[in-house]
Amino acid sequence: MKKEFKIGPLTAAEGEKVSGYLPIVNAEVEVPITLINGRNEGKTILICGGLHNAEYVGIQSAIELADELDPENVSGNIIVIRLLNRTGFEHRTMSLVYEDGKNINRVFPGSATGTLADQIAYTLEKDIYPFIDFFIDLHCGDGYEGLVPYVYCLGNASDYVVETSRKMADIVQVDYLVVSMLDTEGAYNYAGSLGIPSILIERGCKAVWDQALVEEDKKDVKNILRYLGILGGEVQRTGSIPKEVNPVIYENAPVTGCWYPSFQPGDTFKEGDVIGVIKDYFGNVLFTCYAKQNGIVLYEVISLCIIKDGPMITYGAWDQEIDRHAERSKDVIM
């Protein structure tokens, strides 16, 4: 008989789905999760929504996946965190934890004795990561961000983790892929350093969501689950794999002011082009951002307000070779 599956205070018997709250270590906060214990033996995967609390496409996708996935068609176990940064969500704090103003993705591995963001990261490491084999982190653009849909996979980990996360990412039906070389910043990067193949999906932006985008997220996640043998059925994918953009440049704002980008997400430009300027409240130019390479905008701040040392624009390398990227068969070959 298949063993019970237990995370925190929740226990799911064979063929059972259980929902409830996972307490954050040393905090008076609980986050909503669902455990799915399949009928058959297999691997365990974490699906997380709401690490950034105004990234609503990922949150709604996690909620619907938790409701729709049937233990009768699952081999192994699925953990769905429906909403990780619950207090930020309930106070509309954009990317930050309400109580301490921290970005959870900047504090891993966290601390049991830190502030709430540290405690949330520590809870993932202590109560979730030791029990999982794979991780899918669902994101989108926050209220001040515009982006073109793309996927991150791991590039700075063991060969197995790098290869497996790339295969997971290749299933995602977006145009672009970024290989992350970080191993500490971010929930999925840190998981990779622990030997857990992980990806991060970016779809949707401006702190809005619609059902069509949620359906695309759910389709991608279910296809990855099928590929990993956790969900029954064949991978149902059309089109080519995402095109890798590399290198990727992350530009933070050097000053606070009014931000005027020259391009929109998905636009391409040439090295040396002005890709945006920051002005003061009298229209004086405080900073001009020039492209360091031919690029395509992956995401950028779309609010008039821009904050010193905060995100400004991120773009990947772009040239004709990417346009001529050799597309694979519509059938994913793994």
In tens, the pLDDT along 81-138 reads 999 999 999 999 988 999 999 999 999 999 999 999 999 999 999 999 999 999 999 9
pLDDT at 326: 40
- Report DSSP state, residue 176: E
The CATH number given to 5-227 is 3.40.630.10
Structure tokens at 164: 């497996």
Joined tokens for residue 223: 């296809």
200-209: per-residue pLDDT in tens? 999 999 999 9
* Alpha carbon distance 11, 4 (integer Å): 7
Cα(288)–Cα(308) distance, rounded to whole angstroms? 14
**Residue 247 preceded by cis peptide, ω within 30:** yes
Band of the pLDDT at 1, cuts 50, 70, 90? low
| Cα–Cα distance for residue pair 142/302, rounded to 1 Å | 10
* Model confidence band, residue 331 (pLDDT cutoffs 50, 70, 90): very low
CB of 138 closer than 8 Å to CB of 217: yes
Picking from 71, 69, 70, the residue whose alpha carbon sits closest to that of residue 39 is 71
Which of 209, 167, 199 has its CA nearest to residue 59? 209
pLDDT computed for residue 325 by the predictor: 45
Torsion, Cα of 135, 36, 49, 63 (10° steps): 150
Q: Could you tell me if 314 and 276 are in contact, meaning their C-beta atoms sit under 8 angstroms apart?
A: no
pLDDT of residue 176: 97
User: What pLDDT is recorded for position 321?
Assistant: 54
Lowest pLDDT segment from 210-219, 239-248, 288-297:
239-248
pLDDT digits (tens, 9 = 90+) for 2-59: 789 999 999 999 999 999 999 999 999 999 999 999 999 999 999 999 999 999 999 9
Output the DSSP codes for 255-304.
S-EEEEESS-TT-EE-TT-EEEEEE-TTS-EEEEEEPSSSEEEEEEE-SS
User: How are beta strands 5-7 and 10-12 bridged, if at all?
Assistant: antiparallel
Confidence of residue 330 (pLDDT cuts 50, 70, 90): very low
What is 245-323's CATH topology? OB fold (Dihydrolipoamide Acetyltransferase, E2P) (2.40.50)
- What's this model's pTM, rounded to 2 decimal places? 0.94
pLDDT digits (tens, 9 = 90+) for 281-327: 999 999 999 999 999 999 999 999 999 999 999 999 987 555 544 44
Q: What is the pLDDT of residue 2?
A: 75
Q: Domains of the chain: which residue ranges?
A: 5-227, 245-323
Please provide the DSSP assignment of 93-152 as one string: -TTS-TTT---GGGSTT--TTS-HHHHHHHHIIIIIGGG-SEEEEEE---TTEEE--EEE
